[in-house]
Structure 1
Amino acid sequence: MAFIRWFLGKIILTLNFLTPPKGIKRSPEAQAQVDKQTRLLALYQFHACPFCVKVRRAMKRFSLDIELRDAKNNDTFRQELLENGGRVKVPCLRITNDDGSVSWMYESNDIIRYLEQRFVSE
């Protein structure tokens, strides 16, 4: 089973590399504003997870520079995800709100919908 998971992960990563999505074109000022807002976000992910690849592709389509945190190979990020998010499940978007509070969003479709509503539907 581990071999199958490894093999499928390699196929997903190869296809992702060969077919990169095109990003949204914004004015330099608009992109700078988006970049400022994305500094408050972090995506906890596993590199070869198909749902994480799905979210990363959406981030590229939306031209979002969100910090990626590898919860599989980095024990610190894995522990943060467990202690603050409640479980080690990826993808998980860490959102620092305007008031300084932090919320954690799981599920790739929910994350993509949130990013689209916040950064594309402006």
Structure 2
Amino acid sequence: MNLTRQLKGKTLDLVDRFLPVKPIVRSADEQCVLDRESRRMHLYFCRSCPSSIAVKRYCERLGLRVVEKDVERVNAYRNELLNGGGEPRVPCLRIDGNECNDWLYNPDTILKYLQQRFSSQ
């Protein structure tokens, strides 16, 4: 990892820790449905990865309560990511479905999916 990316990651981590995201205001019923749906999503991330932090903050902005799994801190999450998705890359969004799980690895794909799925609600 190059120095610029490391510095950007550390800076965004500090911003993420000290500047909270203001979520979209929804009615209690809408938020309840959204909470139920978002609990079926798992975000594998790393605090030193700028893309991971951007995806995490976007989820917070949408008011999603996804299950967050920091692969740097817990090796079991890293193994879960490798065994389930096939690649140890972050950010990764796992969407639990009825029959199978979808693993989204590209940050642009993740943001596009979240925007299409949850912005219009």
Scaled by the length of structure 2, the TM-score of the pair is 0.88
> Is 1:53 the counterpart of 2:61 in the alignment?
no
Segments of 5+ residues of structure 1 without an aligned counterpart are: none
Pick closer, same or farther for the CA change 1:117–1:2 going to 2, 3 Å. closer
Distance 1:78 1:14 in 2: 23
Aligned residues: 121
Tell me the percent identity: 35
Distance 1:2 1:113 in 2: 27
Secondary structure of the 1:89 match is: coil
**1:21 Cα deviation after fit:** 3.2
Cα displacement string for residues 64-119 of structure 1 (whole angstroms, at most 9, x for unaligned residues): 1101011122111101111111110000001111x231110011111111111111
Task: Look up the match of 1:121.
Answer: 120
Task: Look up the match of 1:96.
Answer: 96
Task: Look up the match of 2:38.
Answer: 38
Letter in 2 for 1:119: F
Secondary structure of the 2:78 match is: helix
> Is 1:108 the counterpart of 2:107 in the alignment?
yes
Distance 1:14 1:120 in 2: 27
Distance 2:4 2:73 in 1: 20
The root-mean-square deviation of aligned C-alpha atoms, in Å, is 2.0
Task: Look up the match of 1:73.
Answer: 73
Cα displacement string for residues 28-85 of structure 1 (whole angstroms, at most 9, x for unaligned residues): 0100000000111000111121000110111111111101011122111101111111
**1:14 Cα deviation after fit:** 2.0
